[in-house]
Structure 1
Amino acid sequence: MSSLKKLLAVGGILVLLLGVMAGCGEEAPTDEEGEAEGGTIGLAISTLNNPFFVTLEEGAKEAAEDLGYDLVVLDSQDDSSQELSNVEDLVQQEVSVILINPVDSDAVESAVSMANDADIPVITLDRSAEGGEVLSHVASDNVAGGEMAGEFIVDELGGEGKVVELEGVPGASAARDRGEGFHNAVEGTDIDVIASQTANFDRQEGLSVMENILEAEEEIDAVFAHNDEMALGALQAIESSGRDIMVVGFDATDDAREAVSEGSMAATVAQQPALIGSLGVESAADYLEDEEIEEYIPVDLELVTE
């Protein structure tokens, strides 16, 4: 073989090898127009001003990339009217499936119905919808989590004491369910729930509400907050007051885990927000590939105490 032919043969092999290597990247497969082959999934998320939902979004994005789907994420900013506008936007974009993490389980009915009218299936994440047709719901068992927190408080207080409950957004299924589980656990004991007030899942509101309760109540043994943001706000108020009050949260965010590890917070109920997000996308993909999916997809919980 001539030197020229040898060079051409070697060059061809190198081009082939480079082509194979280029095909081994981790990017989602795309069509000729650069769009993901699987299509587009929409995610209307209640707020991205909360670490829990940021992690949920990250899990959804990772799953979408792995499965070859585009994911359009819209932040509802804890506003049901913005949520409705976001879903309208996703409907206009003709996404294949809409994932909704509702701001309010009752108010989201209008958004779900809008998607239903457009024949776009809906999957709810973390919080359920009280109306409209939903294909599947992916969430932790919030009642069981509330019971877990309540039982911990009962055990730590020896079955008696005065407890404050900081509630989440009124109307949100997570708030209702966590509160239900907590009250299930303390019912029949000598635990006295001396205050139940909403702080809307917000740290600053948790601080403000707890400051007011501390001024009004001379004796408080424990606080159960429906999420870690409120728990951390309450903890700040308690530390400023110089009083010794046990605080239990819910979600096991990084800040809460650190507070538990340091001993300033007693416990938090661990959800798996990234898994909730990824399971939502995987369920949407299964539906689009004509696979059967469950109406309720549970995600395990655990109590973090150290």
Structure 2
Amino acid sequence: MKKLYFALLLIVALFLAACSMDAPGSEKSDSKKESTGSKGDYKIGLSVSTLNNPFFVTLSDGAEAKADELGATVTVVDAQDNASKQASDVEDLIQQGVDLIIINPVDSQAVVSSVESANAANIPVVTVDRSSEGGEVVAHIASDNVAGGELAGEYLLELAGEGAAVVELEGIAGSSAARDRGQGFNNVADGKLDVVAKQTANFNRAEGLTVMENILQSNPDIKGVFAHNDEMALGALEAIEAAGKDIIVIGFDATDDAVKSVENGKLAGTIAQKPEQIGEKAMEAAIKALNGEEVEASIPVDLELIKK
């Protein structure tokens, strides 16, 4: 009888112990993290238009360093200036279940479907440098590209003089950066400079060289060039030097190569938009959004004209 009594007591004790444990799906097990205090609390995807451009390498480095400081992990993917690859990269990040995606669009219109896919998966999106023309974006971090284009136009006007024949090397068609920098430049150039040629070189140094070679053949008397980024500006400078000409060239981004060229008296100037800060501010905005804090929809980064 005593054996039966003790057996019943043991069964009751086991039952009570089991009831005291949290069941799967209980309030405790489903509670969300309240902070990012430990490494890897948030997983963030960063889709970059190209890591073949020093500007975006610096932007990516800034984002990764800030993520490490804030206790998040980052997966960086390189779209290689291909909008279709970027769409595939973003879809992969969605499938991986990242908490937020930061996108530097190849094309501002083409990226809309990727932003909308992330929206449908309830994954917040932050854009950097170039904006998305649709979908829901938590924040956009960039310099004022229109103001930067105006700054470049004013400096070219100052150096070349009113009425001078100049060239505009445009970035990737469809990107907000190319559109806005061009708009700013032409705000100044219209009626004051003679823009004899406008041609895209897709933000690429090699294309900048080739396009400039072709332009020089049909416009040998140009006095100045504004390129929408430093890579194209440096490519154009190579073509100009090979032709034995002295032409004012102004770029945009203030990459290390461009700043050295300015210091050496080759490039006339470049517009600095501080890519490291863009990456840092993007990551700060991402963590704030994930923590449920208020984030400004547009976060500007200061511009500066770099000249000798």
Tell me if both proteins adopt one fold, taking TM over 0.5 as the criterion: yes
Q: Does 1:140 align with 2:139?
A: no
Give 1:209's aligned residue. Answer: 211
Residue 56 of structure 2 corresponds to residue 68 of structure 1: no
Equivalent residue number for residue 56 of structure 1: 59
* Structure showing greater Rg: 2
* Separation in 2, partners of 1:298, 1:173: 15
**Runs of 5+ consecutive residues of structure 1 not aligned to the other structure:** 1-27, 31-35
Could you say which residue in structure 2 is the equivalent of 1:283? 285
Number of the residue aligned with 1:97: 100
Distance 1:149 1:38 in 2: 42
Q: CA deviation at 1:157?
A: 1.9
Aligned to 2:220: 218
Contact 1:38 1:67 in 2 (8 A): no
Aligned match for 1:172, one of 159, 175, 196: 175
Question: Displacement, 1:289?
Answer: 1.3
How far off is 1:288 after superposition?
1.1
Match of 1:263 in 2: 265
CA contact (8 A) 2:152 2:271 kept: yes
Question: Aligned partner of 1:297: which letter?
Answer: I
What one-letter code is carried by the residue in structure 1 that aligns with 2:60? E
In the superposition, the TM-score normalised over structure 2's length comes to 0.87
Distance 1:305 1:182 in 2: 17
**Local SS of the residue matching 2:59:** helix
Task: Please state how far the C-alpha of 1:295 moved relative to its aligned partner.
Answer: 0.4
Q: Find the counterpart in structure 2 of residue 23 from structure 1.
A: none
Rounded Cα–Cα distance in structure 1 between residues aligned with 2:147 and 2:307: 17
Query: After the TM superposition, which segments of 4 or more aligned residues of structure 1 sit over 6 Å from their partners?
Result: none
Q: Is the 8 A contact 2:138 2:289 kept in 1?
A: no
Provide TM-score, normalisation by structure 1.
0.88
Deviation at residue 133 of structure 1 after TM alignment: 1.0
Deviation sequence 1:223-278 (CA, Å, 0-9, x none) = 00000000000000000000110000000000000110010110000011011011
How many residues are paired up?
A: 273
Correspondence list, 1:7-18, <5 A: none
What amino acid is aligned across from residue 272 of structure 1 in structure 2? K
User: What is the identity, as a one-letter code, of the residue corresponding to 1:80?
Assistant: A
What displacement does 1:89 show?
Answer: 0.8
Counterpart contact for 1:76–1:86, Cα < 8 Å: yes
- Does residue 232 (structure 1) correspond to residue 242 (structure 2)? The answer is no
Report 1:84-123 matches (<5 A): 84-123=87-126
Compute the displacement of 1:208 (Å).
0.2
Secondary structure of the corresponding residue to residue 160 of structure 1: coil
Matched-pair identity in %: 58
* 1:243 pairs with 2:245: yes
Amino acid at match of 1:276: I
Q: Structure 1 residues 292, 103: closer, same or farther in 2, change over 3 A?
A: same
Aligned partners of 2:166 and 2:41: how far apart in 1?
50
